[in-house]
Amino acid sequence: MFAQNTEQYRDISDNLMKKHFILGYGSLINSRSRAVTGRTGEVIPVKVTGFKRYWSVMSPDFGMSSVAVVAQEDAACNGVLVEVPAEELPSFDQREAGYQRVEIPAERMHTYCGRELPEGQIWIYQANTIVNPTPVCPIALSYADVILAGCFEHGETFAYEFLEQTYGWHHPLVNDRQQPRYPRVQPELHEEIDKLNTMVAKVAKLSNDELSLSYQVLISSSVSHSGSDQ
């Protein structure tokens, strides 16, 4: 019994000492969005092979679709490799409820900068099946904006590749910026709205008037509310 317990403690200790990385391919690309969930460390932009990214109904409780990957040998998508302390993994598992966290070999990763990958376990949250977006659970711009803003942290080319390597843009899509469905919405992205709209216009069938609706109402309401509380 003592030997068995010693072995268990050793396994736990080894897991805590080992570096863990999550391959973020959606909102986890965005540094501010990651910070809402837990502490993270080094971030490396990468392309992963063997996975295809789609829009899929993963968050029906929020009335929106999210991006999800499924295993597919001849596919690839971009993302960021994020170092996550072992004790923070349960928080990210909770955030990604509905997905399955699976380990992937480093050989599937290719960095944008040509640097060597750090040693450690690499995880990705994948879906078992893809459920196409619907009018009830459409693609929501409040969510897409967060992803694209995260992509811009790694350059415009990285953002374009996200658009090109994500499938299902032809499904229902709504501009919900004034009534956001996404729980981790970033209304401060109003300041980047022209840049975001230029990207969204390449894949979304929305008129200029529809795209022009921004987060300004939220910001104004927040300022007004803060003033009344003081």
Predicted pLDDT of residue 59 = 85
Tell me: the pLDDT tens digits for 169-209? 999 999 999 999 999 999 999 999 999 999 999 999 899 99
Helices 156-164 and 193-200: crossing angle in degrees, nearest 10, is 40
Domain for residue 46, yes or no?
yes
Per the domain annotation, does 8 fall within a domain? no
Asked if the model's pLDDT at residue 10 lies above 70, the reply is: no
Quote the CA–CA distance of 172 and 200 in Å, as a whole number: 13
Total structural domains in the chain? Answer: 1
Which pLDDT value is given to residue 18? 84
188 domain-assigned: yes
Predicted local confidence at residue 228, as pLDDT: 34
Report if residue 3 sits inside a domain. Answer: no
Is 127 among the domain residues? yes
CA distances from 167 to 29, 56, 161, 171 (A): 17, 9, 12, 10
130: its two tokens: 């893809």
Instruction: Express each pLDDT in 99-150 by its tens digit.
Output: 999 999 999 999 998 888 889 999 999 999 999 999 999 999 999 999 999 9
Residue 3 has pLDDT above 80, yes or no: no
**pTM: predicted TM-score of the whole model, two decimal places:** 0.87
The answer to whether the CB of 55 falls within 8 A of the CB of 67 is yes
What is the DSSP track for 55-96? EEEEEGGGTEEEEEEEEEEEEEEEEEEEE--GGGHHHHHHHT
- The b/e string for 31-48 (b: 16+ C-beta within 10 A; e otherwise) is eebbeebbebeebbbbbb
Q: What is the pLDDT of residues 25-55, one digit of tens each?
A: 999 999 999 999 999 999 999 999 999 999 9
Domain carrying residue 208: 15-224
Q: 71 has which bridge partners?
A: 51
Size (the chain), residues:
230
User: What's the confidence (pLDDT) of residue 113?
Assistant: 83
Quick check: 229 pLDDT over 50? no
- Please tell me the predicted confidence (pLDDT) of residue 126: 98
Q: What is the pLDDT of residues 147-168, one digit of tens each?
A: 999 999 999 999 999 999 999 9
Q: In this structure, is residue 198 part of a structural domain?
A: yes
The answer as to whether 10 is a domain residue is: no
- CATH number for the domain spanning 206: value is 3.10.490.10
Is 230 part of any domain? no
Residue 226 has pLDDT above 90, yes or no: no
